[in-house]
Amino acid sequence: MANKTIEDYLKAIYQVDVDQDGAGTTELAERLGIAPASVTGMLKKLAAQDLVTYTRYQGVGLTNAGRAIALDVLRRHRLAERYLADVLGLPWDRVHDEAEEWEHVLSDDVAARMDAALGWPSTDPHGEPIPSARGDVPPLADTPLARLRPRHTARVARVSSEDAEFLRYLGSMGIYPHVALTVLTIAPFGGPLTIEVSGQCHAIGQGVAERIFVVDISPLPAAEEPA
């Protein structure tokens, strides 16, 4: 495998690049906690190793080789998170930081054993999909809670955050993957939405609702929604 630094870069590029097309130097720098100038230098190096495609001022993308490594790291990371949570009982707001180290250290064999011990799970404790050993990632079929209409009920699919405090906040409301919730009201002009989670009502901000991804499970799918 590559070294820790390279793995971190490739993973970051993958994650920035997932939705967008091509990752920007500054965004990468922020994610990695590194100065933009330093990132430029490293990108040249990664390009020389054919792990990324890099054109000055144009951003980076992963080559197949680079993507393979990135997915491998991501797989280890999420597998480790799941393991730490399910087997060692670590709370979900602490698994990320720990896994950040484990991802660089797990051998293929140990990762495979952890995978088997867990029963080949498909997601990490935050609901993020665990890439397969072959590097396949199931497509996501969820939408941000913020996009749900009032009266709709949905199941939490995943929570897109690594911030421990944020995760504890969600936990305090009982919001975890697989939990069902219902949108009661949505205040206009980017105002808060009120939701019901396991019998309790909460008001949450738009920003929060943007990071919670759900799958609508309302009984009346199409008719309910006027075009």
Q: What angle do CA 146, 149, 153 make, to 5 degrees?
A: 95
Q: Which of 9, 54, 92, 102 binds a copy of itself (CB under 8 A)?
A: 102
41 binds, among a copy of itself, DNA, none (CB under 5 to 8 A by kind): DNA
The contact mask relative to a copy of itself for 57-96 (x = CB under 8 A, - = no) is: ---------------------------x--xxxx---x--
Q: What angle do CA 78, 129, 33 make, to 5 degrees?
A: 55
- Count the Cβ atoms, other than its own, within 10 Å of residue 57: 7
Q: Which of 107, 122, 185, 200 binds a copy of itself (CB under 8 A)?
A: 107
In angstroms, the first-to-last Cα distance of the chain is 51
Asked if 203 is part of the footprint of a copy of itself (rule: CB under 8 A), the reply reads no
Beta strands in the chain (DSSP E): 52-55, 59-62, 143-144, 153-159, 180-186, 193-197, 200-204, 212-216
Q: Which of 15, 24, 180, 186 binds DNA (CB under 7 A)?
A: 24
Asked if 3 is part of the footprint of DNA (rule: CB under 7 A), the reply reads yes
Task: Say if strands 153-159 and 180-186 run parallel, antiparallel, or are unpaired.
Answer: antiparallel
List binders of a copy of itself among 114-153 (CB under 8 A): 114, 117
129 binds, among a copy of itself, DNA, none (CB under 5 to 8 A by kind): none
